[in-house]
Copies of this chain bind each other. A is one copy, B any other.
Amino acid sequence: MQPLSFPPRLLMGPGPINCYPRVLTAMSTQLVGQYDPTMTSYMNEVMELYRRVFNTQNQQTFLIDGTSRAGIEAALISCLEPGDKVLVPIFGRFGHLLAEIAERADAEVHTIEVPWGEVFDPQQIEEALKRIQPKLLAIVQGDTSTTMLQPLEELGDICRAHDVLFYTDATASIGGNPFETDAWKIDAVSVGLQKCLGGPSGSAPMTLSDRFVDCVRKRAHVEAGIRDAHHKSATGQRIRSNYFDLPMIMDYWGDERLNHHTEAATMLFGARECAVGLLTEGQDEVLKRHQFAGNAMLSGVQAMGLQPFGDLKHKMSNVVGVHIPDNVDGEAIRHTLLNTFNIEIGTSFGPLKGKVWRIGTMGYNARQDAVLQTLQSLETVLRRAGFSLSAGEAVDAAMAVYSGES
């Protein structure tokens, strides 16, 4: 029973990635009680910090204590009553996940799909909304399985025009790509820390518009053990999950401080520090840093003679898919990168399994040195495996992006 000990990996896959050191430091902070005024004041601060991260004025902005998919499930299961219609446009693995979670809630789930590597045109989504008339549109912003970034700018107006609520999962994209909750009229969004926010998995920040709050408040039922005479149950069907009951979670984070779970304080400390880091550096600066790193990585792999995957106009800044060349053993390359260079790049799921590597440039690792070291090491491993390339061109191409020459 030795202390934890890991090799110093550089995590350049699709996430999780290395945490910012300040986040790790924050997570070793000693606890106070959950209703200690110093704790509740940090809870209020976290709500305000994530309003800024999400670019929203929404009062209801808080953390779900679980991984990213906990945030997704809380949003969907609190909103969707059995039989409610939901439209899920699917352009990768995480679209399937949204549909699956909605199915388990016994919603009437309608899906539309585009091939992996593409995104939807807003008209495709509007056409489906008109046809189906769902209660909710649920769509991923950035699907790491394909590296694609779905444009959301126009979808809010379309949803309002058809009286549809609009949820998005921005786990993979937040912090590395623009995200505007209020300007884009998004009603609910949930994320995780483990991508561009530079924290560990295990906390799911989310924000809810007043429209979304009205929807879930109709299903508010305070649990028996703490219910007082003044707690009226709402008329809507009780939410099927206690853990993901958004009205109870809102009452815990709100002035009422009605006990629900015991806040996962260490995760909250980490989530706070992710937001503080982002806002201190500045959202525009952080987006620019991701853009540079993503462009440099893309130029580098192209200069190495590798083919990027998918529609590059709609690629997330923070991850690139790379076709594994013929006659190259993709897993052997990954293993050598990991074992010899301590660098992790990602494999893929579903139709891309074994065909595409995914290389991330996220959060703390959206740095020039991390990009260059990854390219140099990948080049070395490929070269020594017999893949034909011009040594040095990848890193030169990446440095040209950073120096503004390309």
Which A residues have a C-beta under 8 Å from some C-beta of B? 1, 3-4, 6-9, 11, 13, 15-19, 24-34, 36, 38-39, 42, 49, 65-70, 73, 77, 93-97, 99-101, 103-106, 145, 192, 194, 200-202, 223-226, 238-244, 259, 261-267, 269-270, 272-273, 276, 279-280, 338, 344, 349-350
Contact = CB atoms under 8 A, between A and B. Distances in A.
Contact of A276 (B1, B101, B344): B1
A32 B13 CA distance: 11
B73 A242 contact: yes
20 contacts: A3-B26, A4-B272, A7-B38, A11-B33, A17-B31, A18-B31, A27-B28, A36-B338, A67-B263, A68-B261, A69-B242, A70-B243, A70-B261, A94-B225, A95-B225, A96-B223, A101-B242, A194-B262, A200-B265, A240-B240
B73 A243 contact: yes
A3 B241 CA distance: 35
Given A69-B242, A70-B243, A261-B69, A30 B36 contact: no
Given A42-B4, A67-B262, A262-B15, A93 B350 contact: no
A199 to B, nearest CB: 8
Given A145-B225, A239-B104, A6 B201 contact: no
Given A16-B265, A18-B31, A105-B240, A26 B1 contact: no
Contacts of A264: 66-67, 200-202, 267
State the copy count for this chain: 2
Contact of A16 (B28, B94, B262): B262
Contacts of A97: 223, 225, 242
Closest 5 CB pairs of A and B: A202-B264, A96-B225, A93-B225, A28-B28, A200-B266
A390 to B, nearest CB: 30
Contacts of A1: 49, 276, 279-280
Given A4-B29, A32-B9, A243 B66 contact: yes
Contacts of A73: 241-243
Contacts of A32: 6-7, 9, 11, 344
A221 to B, nearest CB: 9
Nearest to A100: B223
A67 B65 contact: yes
Nearest to A223: B100
